[in-house]
Amino acid sequence: MSDTEFAASSDGTRIAFHRHGDAGRPPILLIHGWAQQSVCWAPLVERLGDRFHLVTMDLRGHGGSDKPEAPAAYTDTSLWGDDVRAVIDAAGLSRPVLVGWSYGSRVIAAHLATHGDGHLAGLVLAGGILAIGKAREEWMVGQASPGLDRDLYTEDVPRRLAATVRFVEACTARPLDRATYATLVGANMLCPAHVRRALFGADVDFRPVYAAATCPALVIHGDADAVVTPRTGEAAAALFGQGRHLSYEGVGHAPFLEAPDRFASDLADFVEEVGAGRG
């Protein structure tokens, strides 16, 4: 992994990011999910780092980024949008493709709401969500949704660790290799309880923002996803004016980890198709 760099968001929060590959190649900004961090993208960096300029960011409250105490630092949609803008500017990304895993789709929606999509080549959602808080409907919620396990938010570390182990295990339909699984659990535990609680503190429906998007979008969703229902992926793709849906058979909530070769190929094809990096 490249050295950690930092971009200052509009409220002063430092957002950690890493660059991979030649900066002159088509840019892709990878945005991880709830309680994770940028290390989750290692399989894509390994497969695509020689063809694209990959930038991985740690969301505020996660990984190497600052972790503000105030809940408003996580419920204010404009801040999430500004975080992405700050990384795009700091990394010098021209017409990137944004890729969001799970909660990362909330971050992408926030960026679209606050900054539009005229500067983007395209969007990719992987196991993405469509709403949070009271705006989230029952048909969107998988049986292993983190919102259903209160121990994920407790200050009691042993209980939070046990719940995190359960959650990471539920993210894939088949067990991951030992090293990857351990890395994901460790990455999750670096996200404090107060951040985890605040991430679902707002009531936001992303569907109007997605419906207003003008750039191409690719939605990849595992048909065995137990965290975010497969129906959610189908609904997301239908919202976009230029949306396409790919269902991965027998795959759970983390398609880029469970089917990395296929995901890397599908992502590469999409990035080349939409002309990322070209004005």
Among 78, 74, 137, residue whose Cα is nearest residue 112? 78
Does the pTM exceed 0.85?
yes
The pLDDT of residue 231: 98
Supply the pLDDT for residue 279: 73
Q: Are 117 and 200 in contact (CB under 8 A)?
A: no
Cβ 60 vs Cβ 79: under 8 Å? yes
The full set of domain ranges for the chain reads 5-143+194-274
What pLDDT does residue 1 have?
A: 58
The stretches in the chain having pLDDT less than 50 are none
- Secondary structure (DSSP) of 140-176: GB-TT-GGG-GGGG-S-HHHHHHHHHHHHHHT-SSPP
Task: List the one residue out of 126, 163, 127, 160 whose CA is nearest residue 142.
Answer: 127
pLDDT of residue 199: 95
The amino acid present at 75, given as its one-letter code, is T
pLDDT at 44: 98
What kind of architecture, by CATH, is found in domain 5-143+194-274? Answer: 3-Layer(aba) Sandwich (3.40)
